[in-house]
Amino acid sequence: MSGREAILGRLKRRLAREGDLEAARAGEVMRRLEEAPAGIVPARGQLPDRERVALFERMAEAVQASVEHVPRMADVPKAIAAQLRERNLPAAVRIGADESLAAMPWEKAAPMEVRHGPSDGKDLAAVSHALAGIAETGTLVLASGADNPTTLNFLPDLHVIVIEAADIDGDMEAVLARIRAKFGKGLMPRALNMVAGPSRSADIEQTLILGAHGPRALHVVIVDG
């Protein structure tokens, strides 16, 4: 065997050993990720169902959102129509392709014009269906996509978000676990929008202004069902 062959042979054997070590390290990393212990979760949101929903409502109202309850999904359009009248807004809303919203009896909330798809910036009111709610902060979580276009979160003056009481979790960690279970690896939404109250800013002279970067008003409809 020549010196060149001996050197190349040693290099090949060393690279093979390092490859085995790298595979072992990668396996250990994956094991640790899969078995990672849960972080510390505050006890505030760890409540029975009714108390958890009540906490969500209190926290949402604390950040200037208005909240109401309806018994069933079918009752949502009438509740929204009443909100529009109360706020002196036209009887027209924009929704995405969400199946739950599309199946609602909008025709019974007459006269109500329902527009579909992303907002072009000219809509005064939009309706979205929240994926989940976080009780400890009163936050609504919306997944981006055709079902609930992100433009509805930012462009209209009034944003109405519908959430089912069963989808309100105590804390953000529980919501993120729910999202992972729902979509799975490789199918996650491109973005999650976390909404807590209407848009507001106090950047100028520390004076609170609503609607600075999005809706002036947020109304939450909780379906108790």
Residue appearing with tokens 């396996």: 27
Q: Domain of 188: which CATH number?
A: 3.40.50.10420
Same domain assignment for residues 27 and 63: no
Q: What is the pLDDT of residue 185?
A: 76
Q: What is the pLDDT of residue 10?
A: 73
Q: How many CB atoms lie within 10 A of CB 207?
A: 8
Cβ-based neighbours of 143, under 8 Å, separated by 6 or more: 131, 179, 183, 189, 191, 192, 193
Q: What is the pLDDT of residue 35?
A: 81
Report d(CA 125, CA 92) in Å as an integer.
Answer: 7
Per the CB < 8 A criterion, the answer to whether 187 and 127 are in contact is no
Lowest mean pLDDT among 18-27, 87-96, 147-156: 18-27
Q: What is the pLDDT of residue 67?
A: 98
Residue appearing with tokens 């924009």: 94
Same domain assignment for residues 28 and 94: no
Number of structural domains, the chain? Answer: 2
Range of the domain at 3: 1-36
Same domain assignment for residues 95 and 63: yes
pLDDT in tens, 59-98: 999 999 999 999 999 999 999 999 999 999 999 999 999 9
Same domain assignment for residues 187 and 97: yes
